[in-house]
Chains A and B, each alone.
Chain A
Amino acid sequence: MDSMSLKDFAAKWTMGLILITAYVFLYMPIVHILFASLSNHPNFPYPPNFNPKSYVNLATNSIYQSAFVNSLIIASCTAVLSTVMGFLATIGVLRFAGKRALFYAVFFAGPLFVSEILLGISSMSLYYLVFGLQGNMVTAIIANSVHCFSFCFLIMAAMLYKYDWRMNEAAIVCGATPFRAFLEVMLPLTWSGIMGSLIVAFVLALNGLDISFYLLGATPTMPSVAWGALRYGVKPELYALSTIINAAVFLAIIVLFLKARNTKTAPV
């Protein structure tokens, strides 16, 4: 009996230890950035101290600010554009493709395997040759959407695969127009897939260096400024900016988590 409880005790603590190790592994780099942004010695910020200087500098540095705004615009537009296209593609494949569904799906997922650098270079020359477009924010959004589309398609296809399309019919015979049925029944029931697609596309476009780099040239984005900074010595402002973005992401996750917990009584 004693040995039994000892064994349970050991198992419990071992599991706990593994869990903590896993979290440390995942979050150490993120916490390190936080410390570095607040330290007097950003190159070795231990023991941590509190110095908001880098945040003040950040607020006055126009390069970082415009990079942040540009990245935000690119990421938001890409997220919406690729999710809308991915959603339409998913409906097309699941509803209208019949026996050829797999064939169409494979070719929608294909761009996933093309490297980002190639896509960036190719898009740059293609847009210039065919449309006479210089690299700008619009072409960057388009090229990023090409890259993100396949991810969005796969995420939403996995979600909508389980959706019973007759739910729409049920709403329609209740007197709803097809659009109303989509808005009031289908959208809430498939929202998690759409949300997942938006988030993934947003993060991919926010962090993607290659595509933005080739298509934007001198226009700064977060990854391109960070990459440039590496060559001339990393500035603490970069740490501050990363920390702010990380904090925003965590806040978003916490909000989503709380929302999910509140609606737990109505699992979909």
Chain B
Amino acid sequence: MTDTSAYIKIDNVSRHYGPVKALHNLSIDIAKHEFIAILGPSGSGKSTLLRLIAGLDRPSEGRIFFKGQDVTALPPHKRGIGMVFQEFLLFPHRTVRENLAFPLRMTQETPAKIKDRLDWAEGILSLNGLMDRYPNQLSGGQQQRVALGRGLVTNPTLLLLDEPLANLDRELRQEMEVEIRRYQKQLGIPFIYVTHNQEEALSMSDRVAVINKGKLEALGERQEIYDHPNTPFVARFVGRATRFDGVSDGTTVNIPEHGYTFSPSAPVAAGRVSVFVKNERFALGASGTPGIACKVIDVVLRGPFVEFILEAANKARIIAVQPKRPDMHAIGAEIALTWDANLAHIFPAEA
């Protein structure tokens, strides 16, 4: 017997297109108040998963449950969900008001209820004065809010978001990240947020599911995923990290290409290993001290922090991120690159 007590339960779901396995035996339980990000590169199957949850596509195997009820065979218009698309897909021939009222009309709400919900959406999404405009008269951010509103007016069981910020510029995106998270906390329904952008996933969600090649690579609290990746893929994909090929003798790890040896906190099985170090966890010591001898070839200012583009003796490029300080290394400086052995992630080398 499967336990169907989770608010949303995705139970061993697969989706095959002929011989192509878009999704493979994937299970996720989602709690009612949870913001979950589904993170993966393009073609990983994350959008397929979203379409399966929406009902726009059917799984080849496995079941999907909403509040304990099996919805696997239920068509999308009966699932009571909201969805926000990357291109917003607002109805261009209808005003903002009509766009927002559309899902309410489809669920046969009374005019009084519709008006009530429209007022609610207008207030919470700051759409005052925009209700009688057409979508093409709105800015990207305003269209985004209307798309969110259309997904939320019916008090859906859950909201699905398919890369909704990909078409917005950077500043607006960061603003909307905070806003979307605030709505989720306010409404108390799960948001399932699909993205290939690890920054979005980390900034908004409670938990992150990392998907690669149709398989669930990792599922956990965002901190956990970031600090303790369980596979080389997660270590590489979440956060910005640098990979080194190393050789372990059981207690120490040597990186032959840079002639650097360090002692990890826990013993590592002997053999070839991959070492991942997050870019902000590098330490830049004075030249001559132990470490990988590097030269600073460029410095990129990113406001509160700085990216040092380093070049090692073998011409390999390494990026180290440091907080911005007045006395930082200048272009051309010689330094020694090291890292805290506890914070490096070490995996047996991939074949």
Contact A164 B106 (CB under 8 A): no
Contact B93 A188 (CB under 8 A): yes
Contact B102 A173 (CB under 8 A): no
For B92, what are the chain A residues with a Cβ–Cβ distance below 8 Å? 189, 266-268
B74 within 8 A of A: no
Q: Which B residue sits closest to A181, measured CB to CB?
A: B77
- A225–B224 Cα gap in the complex (Å)? 86
Once A166-B85, A180-B106, A267-B136 are accepted as A-B contacts, the answer to whether A173 and B77 lie under 8 Å apart by CB is yes
For A188, what are the chain B residues with a Cβ–Cβ distance below 8 Å? 93
For B262, what are the chain A residues with a Cβ–Cβ distance below 8 Å? none
Among A164, A175, A184, chain B packs the most CB atoms within 10 A around the CB of A175
B192 within 8 A of A: no
Contact B77 A176 (CB under 8 A): yes
Q: How far is the CB of B191 from chain A (nearest CB, A)?
A: 15
Contact A167 B106 (CB under 8 A): no
Which secondary structure dominates chain B's binding surface? Answer: loop
Contact A173 B134 (CB under 8 A): no
The bracket for how many chain B residues form the interface is 20 to 34
Q: How far is the CB of B144 from chain A (nearest CB, A)?
A: 14
Once A265-B134, A266-B134, A267-B136 are accepted as A-B contacts, the answer to whether A172 and B77 lie under 8 Å apart by CB is yes
For B154, what are the chain A residues with a Cβ–Cβ distance below 8 Å? 174-175
Binary interface encoding of chain B residues 14-57 relative to chain A, with 1 for a CB under 8 A from any of its CBs, else 0: 00000000000000000000000000000000000000001110
For B55, what are the chain A residues with a Cβ–Cβ distance below 8 Å? 173
Q: How far is the CB of A266 from chain B (nearest CB, A)?
A: 5
Contact B89 A167 (CB under 8 A): yes
For A171, what are the chain B residues with a Cβ–Cβ distance below 8 Å? 91, 102
Once A166-B85, A266-B134 are accepted as A-B contacts, the answer to whether A174 and B93 lie under 8 Å apart by CB is no
- A169–B47 Cα gap in the complex (Å)? 14
Contact B93 A173 (CB under 8 A): no
- A184–B85 Cα gap in the complex (Å)? 19
Q: How far is the CB of A164 from chain B (nearest CB, A)?
A: 7
Contact A172 B93 (CB under 8 A): no
Q: Which B residue sits closest to A174, measured CB to CB?
A: B103
- A26-62 contacts to B (CB < 8 Å): none
Among A169, A172, A174, chain B packs the most CB atoms within 10 A around the CB of A174
A185 within 8 A of B: yes
A14 within 8 A of B: no
Q: Which A residue sits closest to B55, measured CB to CB?
A: A173
Among B75, B82, B89, B134, chain A packs the most CB atoms within 10 A around the CB of B89
Sort A-B residue pairs by CB-CB distance and give the 6 closest, nearest first: A175-B106, A170-B89, A174-B103, A173-B83, A266-B134, A176-B106
Show 11 A/B contacts (Cβ-Cβ < 8 Å), sorted by A: A167-B91, A169-B89, A170-B83, A172-B75, A172-B76, A173-B77, A174-B154, A177-B77, A188-B93, A266-B93, A268-B92
Instruction: List chain B positions with a Cβ less than 8 A from chain A.
Output: 54-56, 75-83, 85, 87, 89, 91-93, 95, 102-103, 106-107, 134, 136, 150, 154, 160
Q: Supply 18 further A-B pairs (C-beta < 8 A) apart from A173-B160, A266-B92.
A: A164-B87, A167-B89, A170-B89, A171-B91, A172-B76, A172-B77, A173-B55, A173-B82, A173-B83, A174-B77, A174-B106, A175-B107, A175-B154, A189-B92, A189-B93, A266-B93, A267-B136, A268-B92
